[in-house]
């Protein structure tokens, strides 16, 4: 078996292996290696180089190099204030630092007084609220059904379904929150598909957690 044949086997072997790779950065790297071995194979084995295959593999390499550069850029260390750093490390660690800065940039810090209504049952919900420090009581038809604490969202069901609030949420103590305007947040997510799925998963997991505990 000559070196070109080995390169051909490696090209197809790496393509098969790529189906097992979950990390997107390593997937890009494996794809580049597969394309490189394929170029070598298609250059050496035929009597005349297979230019169509070679050219398309070069295109795949360039595209993957571009996406690797984007991934490295988004994972670069960034400066965060103490609050943002705490939220990123505890709640948004599945995002890249740059992705987190994108969503925190359009949010506002807001302090609610004790007994202040955050959302009202049956009313439209314009904001998505993340509790940073404090406690929020959740009531349905004036009956308390749950209590939300640090790191939990208020209004996430309305954010996902675009329906009015299914419960009334009132602060139990003075509470500091991070607040997004729903329309602005959704517009950002539309422009960033990977970010959209990450945030949707985060909010859905909170709702699933409530359901498993019998909360509403």
Digit-coded pLDDT (tens) for 116-147: 999 999 999 999 999 999 999 999 999 999 99
Give the rounded percent of residues in the chain with a pLDDT score beyond 70: 96
User: Averaged over 65-75, what is the pLDDT?
Assistant: 86
Enumerate the domain spans of the chain: 3-74, 82-212
Q: 200, 160 in Cβ contact below 8 A?
A: yes
Question: Contact at 8 Å (CB) between 171 and 129?
Answer: no
Pure H helices in 75-180: 82-90, 97-105, 156-161
pLDDT at residue 216 is higher than 70? no
Question: How does the average pLDDT of the chain come out, rounded?
Answer: 90
CA distance 152 to 128: 11
CA 166 to chain centre: 26
Give per-residue pLDDT as tens, 156-206.
999 999 999 999 999 999 999 999 999 999 999 999 888 999 999 999 988
Reduce the DSSP state of residue 169 to 3 states and report it. Answer: strand
Q: Which residues of 94-103 are buried (b: 16+ CB within 10 A; e: fewer)?
A: ebbbebbbbb
**Residues linked to residue 148 through DSSP beta bridges, in sequence order:** 136
- Spell out the CATH class of 82-212: mainly beta
**What is the chain's alpha carbon radius of gyration, rounded to the nearest angstrom?**
25
Per-residue pLDDT tens for 35-50? 999 999 999 887 788 8
d(CA 66, CA 84): 29
> CA-to-CA distance for 126 and 158, rounded, in angstroms?
9
Q: How many CB atoms lie within 10 A of CB 153?
A: 21
Q: Decide: pTM greater than 0.75.
A: no
């Amino acid at each position: 078996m000559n070196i070109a044949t080995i390169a051909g086997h490696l090209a197809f072997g790496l393509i098969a292996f790529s189906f097992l790779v979950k990390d997107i950065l390593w997937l890009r790297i494996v794809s580049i290696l597969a394309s490189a071995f394929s170029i070598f194979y298609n250059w050496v084995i035929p009597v005349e180089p297979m230019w169509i295959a070679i050219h398309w593999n070069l295109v795949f390499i360039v595209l993957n190099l571009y996406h690797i550069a984007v991934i490295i850029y988004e994972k670069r260390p960034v400066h965060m204030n103490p609050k943002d750093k705490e939220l990123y490390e505890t709640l948004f660690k599945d995002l890249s630092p740059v992705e987190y800065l994108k969503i925190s940039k359009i949010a506002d810090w807001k302090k609610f007084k004790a007994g202040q209504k955050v959302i009202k049952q049956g009313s439209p919900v314009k904001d998505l609220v993340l509790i940073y420090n404090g406690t929020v009581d959740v009531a349905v038809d004036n009956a308390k059904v749950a209590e939300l604490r640090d790191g939990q969202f208020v209004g996430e069901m309305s954010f996902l379904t675009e329906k009015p609030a299914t419960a009334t949420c009132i602060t139990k103590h003075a509470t500091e929150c991070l607040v997004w305007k729903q329309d602005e947040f959704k517009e950002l997510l539309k422009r960033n598909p990977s970010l959209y799925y990450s945030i949707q998963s985060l909010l859905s997991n909170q709702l699933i957690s409530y359901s498993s505990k019998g909360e509403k």
